[in-house]
Amino acid sequence: MAVAAELPYGGWIQIPLLSIIWWRLSLLKDCSTTQFFFSSLIFGIGYFIVGLWWLYISLHDIGGMNALLSCVAVFLLSAYVSLYFSIACLSIRIFKSSSISGLFLAASWAVGEYLRGEIFTGFPWMGFAEAQVNGPFATIAPYFGGLACTFLVVYASWQIFQLNKHPRYCISTLVLVCLITIGSSFWSFTKPIGEPLKIELVQGNFPQSMFTNPEGVLKQIHFYSNAMMQSRAELVISPETAFAWPTTNLPAGLIENLQSLSNNTQTNLLFGVIGRHTNPDNGREFSNRALGLSPAQGAYQYDKNHLVPFGEFIPPGFRWFVNAFSVPLSDFARGGDAQDNFIIRRQKEDPLYAAITICYEDVFGGELASRIRNNPQPTNLLINLTNLAWFGKSQAPTQQLRLSQLRSLETGLPALRATNTGISAVLGPDGKVLAELPEFTQVSLSTEVQAYEGKTPYVFWGNFPILSFSCLLLIWGLIRHRRF
């Protein structure tokens, strides 16, 4: 399953593969509930170990953690997130006598995926929804989001599994689902605004070891500042922590020179820095920050709000785990929920407004939709700044690219991704990759992107409709189960 999701049309392949999983679990109908739970847990652990093995690279190869402890950490994380799979699969056993058990399984899965993205700050990575950017249910995302895509993946795969038992019912429901997804593709909720924006994405390709070396940090600062000074695009974006020092420690006059460049050339600049706070919150002095400079406006800043456990904040009781690394990790301050968009000034056009995310913040579709919905400013495009050098040559960049594609699908907005080692890319409002840079190359991407305006139903509603529907289904199913 995890390998299939990486394929170009993995969204199609995962549906029949899932039906095989349901067939295998159905063979355990006579075993105890405990045996059934652990059998489904084994499936989940295997799925996540295959999909998340690259965490070993960050822990061992880059972080210097003991190899055995690194393996144990990956296994334990995989086991934890697999619990949500196992609990959702229990609905197969609970509702096994029901003719519509597929609906209850899909509802359980959607609720489980939502909880996986919320509990303990959330880790919704490697869900079924992101594979649907190239799958049959992509058109549902603008209406009800990735959780609805997950619901339909599970439901359709169950119907395929049940074809031999209830052929007429299963075929009719599959046809109905197909008609709904095809019909939903005829509506568009966002539309182009203004002339295309000339942009440049700068990809430095610096190894993670350089981020803790003063000479390496200076080399990065020199590279990215030169790239921005030489560009004549309307918007130039460098990745997360392109300037990997606190703003107060940067070379004298650097920010002022970049602001002068912005004013003189009418170029908008956006790049990652380490923010420094004069009044630290709870002792946290620094933040993971995106700093923007636009003509005659001065500095804009966005401080990352959804921080990475262990990498950017240390959960209570886990200091010993962080001490097992041989590289310094940060305990960053958290940015606020209601931060302004970055205003992109243009000479002959009205300004554009970009919603900024840093690193894996673009994993959380509900949070991004809420930001866009509640922001009094409009949102015309999405921008993500990322550094994936932590994960070496693995499928992690491809996985995050798919998550960004899903965010564009949900919001109906184009997206720009500026990364250190790749994959830097331009995405259309339908989630399609319009242009991208090869990984592990030091190069820039100069192109144009068309900004959009408007809001999709998912931006207005968030996950409320699909969660409400799923919860009501489960309540109804439990009432029926107790009666019979």
For the chain, 484 residues long, the average pLDDT of each consecutive 10-residue run is 60 84 80 86 91 90 84 93 92 75 92 93 90 91 96 93 85 90 92 95 91 88 94 94 88 91 92 80 77 86 86 69 61 83 89 94 94 95 94 91 96 97 95 95 96 97 96 88 65
Q: How far is it, in rounded angstroms, from Cα 322 to Cα 320? A: 6
pLDDT of residue 320: 66
pLDDT of residue 280: 60
Is residue 359 part of the annotated active site? The answer reads yes
Residue type, 225: S
Q: How far is it, in rounded angstroms, from Cα 420 to Cα 422? A: 6
| Token digits of residue 55 | 């965490």
Set 89, 149, 170, 359: catalytic member:
359
| Token digits of residue 333 | 């301050």
Q: Are 258 and 228 in contact (CB under 8 A)?
A: yes
**CA geometry: angle at 190 spanning 189 and 194, to 5°?**
160
Q: Where are the beta strands (DSSP E) in 156-297?
A: 191-192, 197-203, 235-237, 243-246, 268-281, 284-294
pLDDT of residue 210: 84
In this predicted model, what pLDDT tens digit does every residue of 72-92 receive, in sequence order? 989 999 999 999 999 999 888
Query: Under 8 Å CB-to-CB from 315, ≥6 apart: which residues?
Result: 120, 309
Backbone angles phi, psi at 386, to 5 degrees: -140, 150
DSSP 164: T
- Host H or E run for residue 100: none
pLDDT of residue 243: 93
Backbone angles phi, psi at 148, to 5 degrees: -70, -35
Is residue 191 part of the annotated active site? The answer reads no
Q: How far is it, in rounded angstroms, from Cα 77 to Cα 321? A: 13
Is residue 71 part of the annotated active site? The answer reads no
Set 89, 170, 234, 304: catalytic member:
304
Q: How far is it, in rounded angstroms, from Cα 381 to Cα 368? A: 12
pLDDT of residue 479: 83
Q: Are 411 and 462 in contact (CB under 8 A)?
A: no
Q: Are 241 and 208 in contact (CB under 8 A)?
A: no
Measure the CA dihedral 367/146/397/323, to 10°.
50
In 3-state terms, what secondary structure has residue 416? strand
Set 130, 200, 234, 240: catalytic member:
240
Q: How far is it, in rounded angstroms, from Cα 82 to Cα 52? A: 12
Number of H helices, E strands in the chain: 15, 15
